[in-house]
Structure formats: structure tokens, C-alpha cells
Amino acid sequence: MSDALRKMIFVGCRELGIDTETRKEMQARLTGKSSLVDMTEAELKLVVDNLKQRGFKAQSGRKRKAAPRADLRLIHVLWAKLGEAGALNDPSRAGLNAFIRKQFGNNWQSVPADVDMLRDWHQIDDVVQALKAWARRIGADFDFKRVR
């Protein structure tokens, strides 16, 4: 957690235009320590809170752009719905990529490193149909009316 807080401090300072010298002065004023490495987690949180008071808006994790095509976005939505249904051990993007490699690695000439690199509509349809079949097997009902 401390590493994440340190990174957040650096990002906050960059976004607020605070240079290194000013950051260290601020840290010393708030915690009595000018070095982030010497700070406890509570002290790091104090610095982050101070940056938020100055206008820093912390983002929770890195957001990926939406898939470039609607058919690829459908794969992501189906995967997320399976995750919500509790059917997945790894509901992350890495889990989806591992599923595709395991499921189709022997059948396709080549499997892309990432699902968003799929371009062959036959392959995309294979993935969609496999995810739908999985949903039917576990009895998951996808209510797409609520999906934006």
C-alpha cells in the first residue's frame, strides 16, 4: 500500500504543479519527514489528504479505453457478467485473455496476446458463443436492458 501511496503523491504533485523542493517542504511541514521512504503509511495518507485539499483528484486504478469495436466490447461485457455471477476465478482482463488462449489456442492458427487485438469475425464469434454457452451452463441470465 505504501508504494501506491508514494506513487499517488508523485502524481498529485505533478498534476498540481508542485516541484520536488516544494513537495519535500510540504512533507516536512506535515509529517516532520522530508523523505517519502521514511514515512509510515499514516503519514503518507496525511500527505495525500493534503494534496486532495489542494484540488488533487485521485483516480482509483488505471482505466483502459473501451474496446475499439462493438463486438469486442460485447466480449468484455459477457466476461464481466460471468464475473458478477461468480463463475470466474479471475474476472480481470488477464483472466479473459487466459481463457481465450486455453479455449482456442489449439483451434486457431494464432491467438492474439490481448482480446482487443482480435480482428477475424469468426474468432470473435467463437469467443462470444463460448461465453454465452458458459452462461447457459451456469444458469446466468444476462439482462442487457440495464447495460449502457
Assess if residue 63 is contained within a domain: no
Q: Read off the pTM.
A: 0.54
Residues 72 and 101: their CA atoms lie apart, in Å, by: 16
Assess if residue 17 is contained within a domain: yes
Assess if residue 76 is contained within a domain: yes
Assess if residue 81 is contained within a domain: yes
pLDDT tens across 14-64, in order? 888 899 999 999 999 999 999 999 999 999 999 999 999 988 887 765 566
- Whether residues 46 and 81 share a domain: the answer is no
- Whether residues 46 and 78 share a domain: the answer is no
Does the structure show a pLDDT above 50 at 148? no
Domain containing residue 96? 70-138
- Whether residues 76 and 36 share a domain: the answer is no
The pLDDT, as a whole number, for residue 22 is 92
Assess if residue 110 is contained within a domain: yes
Assess if residue 113 is contained within a domain: yes
Assess if residue 146 is contained within a domain: no
- Whether residues 23 and 78 share a domain: the answer is no
- Whether residues 13 and 48 share a domain: the answer is yes
pLDDT tens across 93-109, in order? 899 999 999 999 888 88
The number of distinct structural domains making up the chain is: 2
pLDDT tens across 61-81, in order? 556 666 668 888 999 999 988
Assess if residue 147 is contained within a domain: no
